[in-house]
Structure 1
Amino acid sequence: MNTLLLAADAPKSPVDDAINSWFDPIATFFGGIIFFPITLGPISFPFVVLWLIAAALIFTIYFGFIQARGFKVSLEVIRGKHSSKNDPGEITHFQALASALSGTVGLGNIAGVGVAIALGGPGATFWMIIAGLLGMCTKFVECTLGVKYREIDENGVVYGGPFKYLPIAFRKFSKPIAGLLTGIFAVSILIFGVVGGGMFQANQTFVQVRTATGGADGFLAGPAASLIFGIIFAGLVGLVILGGIRSIAHVTDKLVPAMGIFYVLSCLLVLAINFGQIPTAIGQIFDGAFAPQGVAGGIVGVMIIGFQRSAFSNEAGIGSAAIAHSAVKTRRPISEGFVALLEPFVDTVIVCTMTALTIIVANQPSYTNDLGQGEIGGVALASDAFSTVAGWYPVLLAIAVALFAFSTLITWAYYGERAWAYLFGKSKGAVTVFRVLVCVFVVIGCIASFSKIVEFADAALFLCAFINILGLYMLMPVVKKEMKKYLADRKAGTLMDPDTKDAVPVEEMV
């Protein structure tokens, strides 16, 4: 996920400054509530981080470490071993995973990791991995529920995710309270989908491309260039999102693996060039996790930094990924839970770890407690690492960041669209209005930054975590019952329903 402050060289305008000034007290007040700080000695961290990590730990214990026990099952499901071409839904298990990953794998996996290392030292990497492993179980729970309570209309369009399971979870309170909490969740997702997932991603894409083409002295300098770029970029986005989740899935199931492989191979190239530093880097990660030097709060401080960056990267507990996973073709909701638990593993355990190792071995930076540059300093650490391959290699990093941003944008456009449908109806006209609105905000995002609105959108996103996790606690017995039945049927060899024994691999599905 890309919950990062706008880059320091983002385009500014008088309108931008005026809106930021007007919106500043609103964003500060709302953010102060959502990111309410907890102080332990010399360190301070948002309560939402504790909320997310505590939930991941509780779910992990309650489901008996299913992320470890069920890893083999996850790989079977994603290969289509227990799937049928006749299963209801819109997209395959692999496409659902790719679509959800496109919303989480992004700039946060690059800049966010750089910031974690700069603030917490190499040891923060260890705790990021631990948090990612725990978060796998949270994804398992929320995505199972997203499929179980979904609805499929007469045209085969799926409506699922938290908008369907939260009203059921909160019925114990009362129907009005259930409607209110789900409505707040939908509004929050909608705000982030348009602003954080649309305007912000477009802004970051333009900034990265402009930097790679000469910056302020390049041909993309000036307001006219940003407008033209924004219109072209919005056109590309429109071509994808106008086709709905099926169109998005067809793009992400190719784009996400391609950009993921490119990025990981780039990291491996840096590691190969600096091969002699790898044992030292691994030693620094483990030593720094338990004996951090110069990090405020000692072991607790570096642990919290790692947990925070992981929680802000993989979205486990936010509920957003359950929207994409709910469109999967399956008759067994728990099957998509097994697929979804792979998401934090790829996002945090693999991609974030590769970034961390690359930065540590290539830079061996002097880790301080104050970057002084905001999140852009994290990108700089990664860029410096890639420059050890060749002076021009950071340009490829800029291209990768642009692709990450594009994939995140189209996925969050879909999340926002589902929230819009919940609030304003499922008619074709209503959905089209939202898609046009996203494209308009893409253009605006390239022209102006509106940083305070983006900060407000970040707070809105994490408001979802409070509501969603509360719902997950209420429904986790339902998931456990489904899990036990699925694993028992798998052991007995009776997973396929009587009318769906014509199981075929994913790659053979139409």
Structure 2
Amino acid sequence: MNRFRSNPQSSLLVLWCLILFIPSIAIAERNGTKVVSVETNASKEETIASEQKKRSSSPLTAGSRGNDFRIRITHDKSDESTFKLELQAIHSAKSSTTSLDQRINSFIAPITDTISSIVFWAPAVPNLQLEILSESVKDLSFSPEQQQDRILLEVLPGLTIENLQEQLLKRSKHLRVIGELPKIRPLENRAGSKNNWRSAANGKFVVPSQSTVPAVVLWLVFGAIIFTLYLRFANFRYFRLAIAIVRGKYSDPTDQGEVSHFQALSAALSGTVGLGNIAGVAVAISLGGPGATFWMIIAGLLGMSSKFVECTLGVKYRRFGKDGRTYGGPMYYLRDGFAKRGWRQTGKVFAIFFAVMCVGGSLGGGNMFQINQAFAQFVNVTGGPQDSWAQGYGWLFGLIVAGIVALVTIGGIRSIAKVTSKIVPLMCGIYVLAALVVLVVKINELPGAFALILREAFDPQAVTGGFVGVLIQGFKRAAFSNEAGIGSASIAHSAVRTKYPASEGLVSLLEPFIDTVVVCSMTALVIVVTGQWEVGASSFAEGVSLTSDSFESVISWFPLLLTMAVLLFAFSTMITWSYYGLQAWTFVFGRGRHADLAYKLIFCTCIVLGSAMSLDKVIGFSDAMIFAMCFPNLIGLYFLMPEARRELEIYQGEIHKGRQPTSE
């Protein structure tokens, strides 16, 4: 480590070699090889390489080599004798010619999949409200993960492959039926569920759907509960004081730091408010029902306490450079806070691990995922995936955005805060206003929507299965949206001008409230009152469409506004996470012009790569890197939370004594 600090030029050379090496491999020809990704029920992928250079365009039948489809069965509540069969088609490539975007994606995909499977290990929880027909082929049990093409058919029990094939081929000439679909017969109700089906055929079976519980979500929610109880519900008791601090009532412009309380809050919010509030909420409601909204709000309120602890410690343990720049975040309170307790080596290990994951998170969720979705929206606006002139030119779109991001990030946190303090309030305000318009128009539906949310949050028939699934979806969305407990926000809040760490800790607790309780809840209410939640969405792409359709049912021009919101939120998130990543990078490699330049070059290169990669690969890498940060961070918060409470008592005492300067 010291070697990198003392010789940043050598590290810069190594990193540049890596940057040049990755695209060169991605561009290399793979003559005669077609790569097909198949998702298994463990959310991993089995990569199948075929030596056939071209595929026949003739209709594909059972047993032939070609495209697969996956099957989902759900019961039709309106007709006891009917169930829905959902077929998810996987199309093969039309040609062996691949674009630069496809080559980049095929090279990086195995890496992102491996990282994601490790971080997001998730034990399954039974959820008997939905049944899935799984296919067992070559020792792989395929479950219906989200894919691009879906075919919904109304069918009767007793369906066989013979009477289904004709319907399939009418919709697609590029399908392969895996084996035979046997007769399906209903079983007796179990655990209050009406949707239990089973196949008698060998290698095919119907299993209850399961809600996976990522251990990282439980880790975050458990920490939020502990901090809320330990701080005696400070997230509620000091809410009004937090608003007063943001408004500048207790500010002193002579305090050491780089940005104001409001600018720090805006910068941190820009790193969390974005696509998760728009698409993620739609997916959560589709999978967990309207009741997920209730648990999402509860998790958001609890997360306020986690934010307070980490941001208070971030300010307390921050450092100042000779040039006046601020350096703070979990890296510093993990290292120095543990050192005070005699755990110097443990603190260093935790700090370095966090910093490495933070750099990865800045390149993934704070970079590649954002540009990927921004480009997807740009393609939709310019004609859609089939007709847009931009399709296949994601790298060019990323190159342009990389240049704009570079211009803003040159100025550091001051420049970033100035931009985000204008973008975030504007876009949040417009989005919430649009939601209020929809709710006013649908005001007669509001009482029923609230009743539905509360009823499904505590559905007595689903306590043994469905209740758990609803709760998980709500908690998962809140954790993935506001990032409370991750530690990233404390990096931005550490740059604030203040001499009292708890003052910024109180400001930071507003972040989960705005992100989850306000913005996410508004999205959820709009989706519920318009009835769009019944349509369903299981992927981010579908979530964007579902949210857009919900607003469009009242505001015809909302899709245009949504596109602008996605682009601006993506941009603001990228510039904020570039700062997070840079702070972590300098912690590992040392401060200096060469270290800064090396990171910024890598960050801008990843913008180009992210715009060309497929969404599922980007999501896997993005989430894995960001949520790996919470493991060392929360351990540190558990041991250091007494210091956060002590700082709160000190600050409260100063205000009561009248010593805290005010702007009035």
TM-score between both structures, scaled by the size of structure 2 = 0.70
1:318-467 matched pairs, under 5 angstroms: 318-366=486-534, 371=537, 373-449=538-614, 451-452=616-617, 454-467=619-632
Q: Does 1:210 align with 2:379?
A: yes
CA contact (8 A) 2:368 2:618 kept: no
Of 213, 216, 239, the match for 1:45: 213
The letter of the residue matching 1:105 is V
Shift of 1:364: 4.6
The CA deviation at 1:149 is: 0.4
State the 1:168 CA deviation: 2.4
CA shift digits 1:358-417 (9 cap, x unpaired) = 11111353276xx4x522221121011111124432121111111111111111111111
1:149 corresponds to which letter in structure 2? Y
Q: What's the secondary structure of 1:49's corresponding residue? A: helix
Deviations 1:104-158 (A, max 9, x none): 0000011110011101111110100000000000000000000000011121100
Residues 296 and 262 of structure 1, relative CA distance in 2, 3 Å threshold: farther
| Structure-to-structure mapping, 1:242-253, within 5 angstroms | 242-253=410-421
What is the distance in 1 between the residues matched to 2:531 and 2:124? 32
Counterparts of 1:97-108 in structure 2, within 5 Å, are 97-108=265-276
1:160 paired to 2:328: yes
Contact 2:105–2:612 under 8 Å retained in 1: no
- Quickly say closer, same or farther: Cα 1:210–1:293, change in 2 above 3 A: farther
Check whether the contact 2:438–2:555 (CA below 8 A) recurs between aligned residues. Answer: no
More helix by share: 1
Write the deviation string for residues 244-281 of structure 1: whole angstroms up to 9, x where unpaired: 10000000000000000011111112212222211111
Residue type of the alignment partner of 1:273: V
Taking the aligned partners of 2:277 and 2:290, their CA distance within structure 1 comes to 15
Q: Which residue of 2 aligns with 1:3?
A: none
- What is aligned with 2:357? 188
The structure-2 alpha-carbon separation of the partners of 1:140 and 1:216, relative to structure 1 and needing over 3 Å to count, comes to same
The residue correspondences of 1:78-227 to structure 2 (distance < 5 A) are 78-171=246-339, 172=341, 174-216=343-385, 220-224=389-393, 226-227=394-395
Query: Structure 2: how far apart are the matches of 1:50 and 1:16?
Result: 36
29 and 215 in structure 1: CA distance in 2 versus 1, 3 angstrom threshold: closer
Secondary structure at the aligned position of 2:123 is classed as: strand
Matching residue's letter, 1:365? W
The equivalent position to 1:33 in structure 2, one of 93, 101, 118, is: 118
Q: Which residue of 2 aligns with 1:282?
A: 450
**1:492 aligned residue:** 657
Q: Once superposed, what is the RMSD of the aligned Cα atoms?
A: 2.4
Cα distance, 1:196 vs. partner? 2.4
Asked whether the equivalents of residues 291 and 299 of structure 1 are also in contact (C-alpha less than 8 Å), the reply is yes
Unaligned stretches of 5+ in structure 2? 1-89, 92-96, 128-210
Q: Distance in 2 between matches of 1:82 and 1:475?
A: 26
Distance 1:40 1:152, change over 3 A: same
The CA deviation at 1:38 is: 2.9
CA deviation profile, 1:158-204 (whole Å, cap 9, x unmatched): 00011110112333474333222211111111011123211221111
Q: 1:391 to 1:79 in 2, by over 3 A?
A: closer
Give the drift of 1:219: 5.3
CA deviation string 1:334-369 (max 9, x = no partner): 10000000000000000000000011111353276x
1:31 Cα offset (Å): 2.8
Amino acid at match of 2:300: G
Letter in 2 for 1:408: T
Q: 1:473 aligns with which of 631, 635, 638?
A: 638
Return 5+ residue gaps in structure 1 as ranges: 1-7, 497-502, 506-510
Residue in 1 aligned with 2:233?
A: 65
Could you say if the C-alpha distance between residues 397 and 19 of structure 1 is closer, same or farther in structure 2, counting changes exceeding 3 Å? Answer: closer
**Kept in 1: contact 2:102–2:612 (CA 8 A):** no
Are residues 320 and 209 of structure 1, via their aligned partners in 2, closer, same or farther at CA, if it must alter by over 3 Å?
Answer: same
Q: Partner letter of residue 181 of structure 1?
A: F
Compared CA separation, residues 232 and 109, structure 1 to 2 (3 A)? same
Separation in 2, partners of 1:450, 1:298 = 28
Residues 182-191 or 338-347, more deviating: 182-191
**CA, structure 1 residues 20+174, in 2 after alignment: closer, same or farther (shift >3 Å)?**
farther
Amino acid paired to 1:274:
K
Could you tell me whether the CA contact under 8 Å between 1:125 and 1:285 is conserved in 2?
A: yes
Equivalence for 2:81 = none
CA–CA distance in structure 1, aligned partners of residues 608 and 114 of structure 2: 28
CA distance in 1 between partners of 2:384 and 2:100 (Å): 22
**Matches of 2:380 and 2:109 in 1, distance apart?**
28
More strand by share: 2
Relative to structure 1, is the Cα distance of residues 467 and 173 closer, same or farther in structure 2, using a 3 angstrom cutoff?
A: farther
Check the 8 A contact 1:19/1:450 in 2, yes or no: no
Cα–Cα, structure 1 residues 220 and 21, in superposed 2: closer, same or farther, change >3 Å?
A: closer
1:37 counterpart SS class = coil
Indicate if the aligned counterparts of 1:289 and 1:303 stay in contact, CA closer than 8 A.
Answer: yes
The one-letter amino acid of 1:157's match is R
Rounded to whole Å, the distance in 2 between the matches of 1:211 and 1:450 is 15
Residue 369 of structure 2 contacts residue 622 of structure 2 at CA under 8 Å; is this kept in 1? no
From the superposition, tell whether residues 19 and 453 of structure 1 become closer, same or farther in structure 2 (CA, over 3 Å): farther
Larger radius of gyration: 2
Query: Secondary structure in 2 aligned to 1:110?
Result: helix
**What TM-score does the superposition give when structure 1 sets the normalisation length?**
0.90
Determine if contact 2:320/2:327 at 8 Å carries over to the other structure: yes
Query: Larger relative contact order (C-alpha < 8 A, sep ≥ 6)?
Result: 1
Structure 1 Cα separation of the partners of residues 101 and 399 of structure 2: 19
**Percent same amino acid among aligned pairs?**
49
Kindly provide the amino acid, as one letter, of the partner of residue 139 in structure 1. Answer: K
Q: Distance in 2 between matches of 1:231 and 1:208?
A: 17
Distance in 2 of aligned mates of 1:166 and 1:66: 23
**How far off its partner does 1:313 sit?**
0.5
Cα deviation, residue 429, structure 1: 2.3
Runs of 4+ aligned structure 1 residues displaced above 4 Å come to 12-26, 292-296
